[in-house]
Amino acid sequence: MLVLLLSFAIVLLDQVTKYQVCLRFYPGESIPVLPGLFNLAYVRNTGAAWGMLSGLNGWLVCFSVMILLGLIIFRRSFLSDVLIHRLALGLMIGGIVGNLMDRVRLEYVVDFLDFHWGLHHFPAFNVADAAICVGVGLYVLSSFLVPSHPLREIRPDRTMTPGEG
């Protein structure tokens, strides 16, 4: 239930913030919030992270659906039933669904959080992107903290056959 609630909350927050940006900004418009550090901007991202694969929206929709289905179907293969894994899964699913909704509805993703330092800009992102990154980060961190992490489990009932390494 936690995974569903968190996923829903992420999708809702993501879509509401994107809607507000689209209402209040023109595409390409940027307003400084913390001068020299942070702007709110309206960026139409037709690609994946950092604008990679720009213009391949159909492929990105298919890829997002495959990742989403993989997370749901194979979750027991790589997630334990611990809080940090439920949080990671909820964040990742919510983020993927939030961006997928944009891709299907708009054929681009609305990004608006624009961090920079002087002339160095970090690519703009949104709530869904942040949720995916935090979810993946929690999962990676858990591989060091969770003794029952599926990637670390030793299975004594399994014997090696010749050629396995």
% of the chain at pLDDT higher than 90: 67
Q: How many CB atoms lie within 10 A of CB 12?
A: 13
Residue tagged active-site, from 102, 111, 114, 157: 111
What the block records as the tokens of 66 is 């495959």
Angle between helices 57-73 and 83-106 (to 10 degrees): 150
81 is catalytic: no
**Pairwise CA distance, residues 131 & 156, whole Å:** 36
Of residues 74 and 103, more confidently modeled: 103
Residue 54 pLDDT level (bands cut at 50, 70, 90): confident
What does the pLDDT look like over 79-94, one tens digit per residue? 888 899 999 999 999 9
Which tens digits make up the pLDDT trace of 110-140? 999 999 997 888 999 999 999 999 999 999 9
Distance CA 70, CA 3 (A): 15
How far CA 151 is from CA of 36, 84, 127, 140, in Å, comes to 42, 15, 28, 10
Of the residues 14, 102, 114, 129, only one is catalytic, namely: 129
- Contacts of residue 19, defined as CB under 8 A and 6 or more positions apart, other chains included, come to none
Q: Phi and psi dihedrals of 160, rounded to 5? A: -80, 140
4-15 pLDDT, tens digit per residue, is 999 999 999 999
